[in-house]
Structure 1
Amino acid sequence: MSAHRAQWKGHIKLGDISCGVGLYTAASAAERISFHLISKKTRNRLKREFVDSETEETVERADQVKGFELDNGDHIMIDPDEVTAVIPDSDKLLELEAFIPCTDVDDIYFDKPYYLVPTDETSEPTFAALREAFDKCNATAIARTVLFRRMRTVLIRAHGRGLIATTLNFDYEVLPSEEAFDGVPKIKIDDEMLDLAKHIISTKRGTFDPAQFDDRYENALATLIKAKAEGRTLPRPKPVKVSKPGDLLQALQESAGLRSGSGKPKAANTNSKTRKRPASSDASGQRAKSTRKKSS
């Protein structure tokens, strides 16, 4: 991971065993197409300025600091170095508190994955022993530490020659599902509809391969940008047709490959293989540099 900068450095500890580790970003949006904010009239880029709410004068970056507002409206200035200084050394430690089945953690609690690797040659043998123990025992560990100036719970498991550390949302951060599902009515499903739905699901079972899924949104953006740069317009895609309640049974029958009135599904094509969908245009595949400049 020498080509990347560690997001955090500390120690991982199991009993009396510890070693230095670095935390590296495992998922990034840096390769996505990004846009600049520009003037609609001049098409020139806009720049952001912070203005004093009282004097209305522009405040330069060097004079900007974070502050905490008191009840009387005053602010206490907080410098990042002051925050770092008060963090105990123990909070730079990933101490493995317990080993749990990974399936015990609902994926709604998963936040962001990071790679854990040893930070120096001295730590490499200990790290390798820990990683091997994780792998052989198919173990998943829970740990806590201060990451990015806040306490985080972390799920750690073996991955390749290293470890994956996934930060977890706290319980208070996960909104109750009851609130989201409160308005969903209870509807009794006809047995025939349910059987058809189960049949469709069974014929579409497969395995997850991330390489088989392309980013259709990014491809569409690249195609749109290329077309506009060439003075072309693109046809709008057709909207998805939503099945009406009265047409649901027929839609399920058609999805299941049932011939009208036969009551039997058509034979599935077992020789077909899942293939990655080709990019919608040259622009989608090329990601031309002129359309992929990052925002400064």
Structure 2
Amino acid sequence: MAPRANWKGVLKIGEVACPVALYTAASTSDRIAFHTINRATGHRVHREFVDAETGKPVPREDQVKGYALAEGEHVVLDPDEIAAAIPDSDKMLAVEAFLPCGEIDDVYFDKPYYLAPSDRSGQEAFALIRDGMAAAGVAAIARTVLFRRMRTVLIRAHGPGLVATTLNFDYEVRSAEAAFRDIPALEIGGEMLDLARHIIETKIGKFDPAAFDDRYESALEELVRAKIEGREIAPRPAPRREKVVDLMQALRESARLGDKPPRGKTKAPSKRKAG
């Protein structure tokens, strides 16, 4: 069964255009989902909005958005007013510029989507755009209205298709200055830096997403299975926290361990494989 498209429109570069569809590239739908239960009755509970002053439930039709001006004072916006202010979607994903694939800082990346032709009539134009970008080693910047918001999208060649990643706006990305302000200006060199480089070289590898297991999700699955089967799960022992007293000694020990040949490579099992 073909996946359901999240959005359909037209990808346009200059006078070259082709109909395309966006598909979700990353999803949390396969994670374990829980309901909230009333412990006393075993019944599900549901959420409802209540008036903060009266405590009475507020029907959906009476719920509107409000922008706070001061404590207890709001500018009220009706759904129709908000809808009228949102830019109309012309379903056009118009490329504004090309840039090197590594030009954009990853902190601006939001959500990835697969971009594929939605009609046979546009397959040749789609292939031309994809192969041209791959050959030039560039990504495309485009803008359009997605899900009732104006979004900037980074488009890159990806196998037989394209990947379109929505980007955060500049005002949404916090400056790193505040987070890094208290990091002292230390310069590392000599044997310490040489040891660090050696340790890194002994652990150089390739990224294999199937080799990383979601231990939290696996633990939840095991807990649910144990509850269904009536088994008890012993609590896991708390991890031992070791305090590093001598950084140089720790580096030397890490380098020594890194030089030992591995006893046998193990690969974490992958629970699910994307179809």
The verdict on a shared fold, with TM-score over 0.5 as the criterion, is yes
Q: Specify the alignment match of 1:276 in structure 2.
A: 267
| Equivalences, count | 268
Distance (Å, rounded) in 2 between the aligned partners of 1:187 and 1:70? 45
Alignment of 1:43-122 (within 5 A): 43-52=42-51, 56-61=55-60, 63=61, 66-69=64-67, 73=74, 75-79=76-80, 83=83, 87-90=87-90, 92-122=91-121
Q: Specify the alignment match of 1:241 in structure 2.
A: 241
Distance (Å, rounded) in 2 between the aligned partners of 1:89 and 1:278? 43
- By how many angstroms is 1:232 displaced? 0.6
**RMSD between superposed Cα atoms in Å:** 2.9
Greater Cα shift, 225-234 or 213-222: 225-234
Q: Specify the alignment match of 1:261 in structure 2.
A: none
Alignment of 1:118-157 (within 5 A): 118-157=117-156
- By how many angstroms is 1:228 displaced? 3.9
* Runs of 5+ consecutive residues of structure 1 not aligned to the other structure: 259-264, 280-284, 287-296
Distance (Å, rounded) in 1 between the aligned partners of 2:187 and 2:128? 54
Paired residue secondary structure (2:246): helix
- Checking the alignment, whether the CA contact within 8 Å between 2:6 and 2:21 is kept in structure 1 is yes
> Percent of counterpart pairs with the same letter?
51
TM-score (norm 2): 0.84
TM-score (norm 1): 0.79
Paired residue secondary structure (1:134): helix
Return closer, same or farther for 1:191/1:18 CA change in 2, 3 Å cut-off. Answer: same
Return closer, same or farther for 1:104/1:257 CA change in 2, 3 Å cut-off. Answer: same
- By how many angstroms is 1:234 displaced? 2.0
- By how many angstroms is 1:188 displaced? 4.4
- Checking the alignment, whether the CA contact within 8 Å between 2:64 and 2:78 is kept in structure 1 is yes
- Checking the alignment, whether the CA contact within 8 Å between 1:65 and 1:78 is kept in structure 2 is no
Paired residue secondary structure (1:254): helix
- By how many angstroms is 1:177 displaced? 0.8
Q: Which amino acid aligns with 1:38?
A: I
- By how many angstroms is 1:187 displaced? 3.5
Distance (Å, rounded) in 2 between the aligned partners of 1:237 and 1:160? 44
- By how many angstroms is 1:73 displaced? 3.7
- Checking the alignment, whether the CA contact within 8 Å between 1:224 and 1:234 is kept in structure 2 is no
